[in-house]
């Protein structure tokens, strides 16, 4: 199944556990307010749950982001912030956030140049169904800027928040924990 999911994904930019997370700056909407987000702004301060999702207006995407919003107090208690990334435009993302929100963490638009950040992380689908969208994938970037967790999910699969939360709790106790699934 994992091999099947990896077909059509840009492999050259794959970011793995232990790698430095590629920095980026993208337009974002947070709790209805538009701005810019730079990943490196969290370095030394917080762990980042970097959640790529294929498109806005999908039920699986809404469920995923609402679950992170519901678990936000637990994420913050573990010195972590969620940053979500989609290839949809910032205007589309802002309208969708009003529909499903409020969402109090950044929803970033990887719209222009289309999918550049998704490609750098190795999760941009380049062929087949959903070409041009990112995979549904979660990376955890540690305070030091290195990837400590990476997992790609099915397009309609909703990543269980407990998977991320349990790893974040272990990171609080043992900062060197890493997982590649």
Rounded CA gap, 30 and 135, in Å? 22
Half-sphere exposure of 70 (CA within 13 A, CB side): 10
Place of tokens 């499903």: 100
Closest CA to 4 of 119, 153, 156: 153
Domain count, the chain: 1
Query: Where are any strands of DSSP class E within 66-113?
Result: 80-86, 107-109
Rounded CA gap, 161 and 27, in Å? 25
- Residue 27 bridge partners (DSSP): 36
The per-residue pLDDT for 172 is 79
The per-residue pLDDT for 8 is 40
Would you say 110 and 38 are in contact if contact means Cβ atoms under 8 Å apart?
no
The per-residue pLDDT for 110 is 98
- Domain membership of residue 45 as a residue range: 2-180
Instruction: Copy the structure tokens of residue 101.
Output: 């929100």
DSSP 123: -
The per-residue pLDDT for 39 is 98
Residue 156, number of CB atoms within 10 A of its CB: 12
The per-residue pLDDT for 12 is 47
Identify the segments of the chain with pLDDT beneath 50: 1-12, 180-181
3 state SS of 43? coil
The per-residue pLDDT for 14 is 87
pLDDT digits (tens, 9 = 90+) for 38-91: 999 999 999 999 999 999 999 999 999 999 999 999 999 999 999 999 999 999
Residue 66: CATH number of its domain = 3.40.30.10
Rounded CA gap, 48 and 148, in Å? 10
DSSP 23: P
């Amino acid at each position: 199944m994992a091999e099947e999911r990896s077909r059509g994904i840009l492999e050259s930019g794959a970011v793995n556990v232990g790698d430095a997370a590629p920095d980026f700056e993208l337009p974002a909407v947070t709790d209805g307010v538009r701005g810019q987000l730079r990943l490196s702004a969290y370095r030394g301060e917080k762990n980042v749950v970097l959640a790529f999702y294929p498109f806005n207006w999908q039920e699986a995407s809404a469920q995923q982001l609402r679950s992170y919003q519901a678990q936000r107090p637990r994420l913050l208690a573990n010195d972590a912030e969620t940053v979500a990334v989609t290839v949809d435009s910032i205007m589309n993302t802002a309208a969708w956030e009003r529909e499903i929100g409020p969402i109090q963490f950044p929803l970033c638009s990887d719209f222009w140049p289309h999918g550049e950040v998704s490609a750098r992380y190795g999760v941009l689908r380049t062929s087949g169904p959903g070409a041009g969208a990112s995979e549904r994938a979660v990376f955890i970037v540690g305070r030091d800027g290195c990837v400590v967790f990476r997992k790609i999910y099915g397009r309609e699969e909703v990543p269980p928040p407990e998977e991320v939360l349990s790893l974040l709790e272990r990171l609080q106790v043992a900062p060197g924990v890493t997982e590649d699934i």
